[in-house]
Amino acid sequence: MDVIMPLIKTPRDKNMSKEEFISRRSLELCSSEIRTAALKIFAEDMQSRCVHISVEGFDTSLPEVDIELGLYKHLKQCGHVHQVVVTKDLETNLLNKCALVRLRGEGAGEHALALNGSDFGGWKAVIQALPNEVPKIDPKIVASLRAAYARKKNSVGISVGGYDTSLHEDDVKDALIRHFCICGEITQLGLSKSYRTKALHSTAVVYFARQTGVDKAVALNGSDAGGWKVEVEPLFRPTRYFPEKMDSWFGSTPPAPCVNKTEVSLHLSKED
């Protein structure tokens, strides 16, 4: 979180409502800079929970991919194989005799060490435990970040119109946040411009963490947002489609004939 906090720009303004502060902080997580920092935290957390082992004994004249696949095949019984690393000598370009393997799962390290000296398909494996030097990250921080991005992934939205498209983009965004934050946590907000005219498109999209946010927002249809009346409609939510006589998951949206063309058109600009 120390990586992310300096990137957060929303101040704890005493004049800002709690609801608005929550929504603005949530929207900041959409920035590419903060997403990159969050992904780094997730990766480091995963690595910090891995068991590291070294494996020797394989034929370094074999193709690198064959060695990696062989190690994966024999070590997957110990737990989840997170990573297999077979490196090359920078000067000779030959494979190094020692490979690094990262494992996850209860007892993964003990199970792997129990295979020391066993036959790995024509060669005897020499397995040793290595220290994991990746610093531990507070699990509460990781859980909080994962929950925040999970809410974005499962967001439900509305389309909003009625604003003056000649206004500055930031002014409209601020108005939308202030008006709809009382409905629930705003996870995403989409407001774009016409490529040709550079004017704002007449419809914006606002996403909430929960369906109750959409329900409350729809109830605000026709309300005043500081000089203009909001025009609110719920957005079509894609559903999983199961073709006949198929039990497995097939897709994330309905087949084309079922798509609500009116709602899809909200994302297409007639002005362009």
Q: The domain that contains 267 carries what CATH number?
A: 3.30.70.330
What SS3 class is residue 240? Answer: coil
Q: Which position has the token pair 């897709």? A: 251
Give the β-pairing of 80-88 and 156-161.
unpaired
Residue 17 counted as domain residue: no
* 181 and 249 co-located in one domain: yes
d(CA 217, CA 232): 7
Where are the alpha helices (H) located in the chain, listed in sequence order? 18-28, 32-48, 64-75, 108-113, 139-153, 169-180, 211-218, 261-264
* 94 and 208 co-located in one domain: no
Domain that residue 94 falls in: 51-130
| Phi, psi (deg, nearest 5) at residue 92 | -90, -20
Residue 44 counted as domain residue: no
d(CA 157, CA 268): 17
Residue 16 counted as domain residue: no
Residue 8 counted as domain residue: no
| Closest by Cα among 213, 222, 229, 239 to 157 | 213
Distance from CA of residue 44 to its chain's centroid? 15
Residue 227 counted as domain residue: yes
* 200 and 236 co-located in one domain: yes
Give the residue from 81, 98, 130 where a domain finishes: 130
Amino acid at 99: A
d(CA 243, CA 133): 49
| Per-residue pLDDT tens listing for the chain (272 residues) | 445 555 566 666 778 899 999 999 899 888 888 888 888 888 888 888 899 999 999 998 889 999 999 999 999 999 999 999 999 888 888 899 999 999 999 999 999 999 999 988 889 999 999 998 888 888 888 888 888 888 888 899 999 999 999 999 999 999 999 999 999 999 999 999 888 888 999 999 999 999 999 999 999 999 999 899 999 999 986 544 444 443 433 334 444 444 444 443 444 444 45
* 159 and 262 co-located in one domain: yes
Residue 194 counted as domain residue: yes
Question: How many domains does the chain contain in total?
Answer: 2
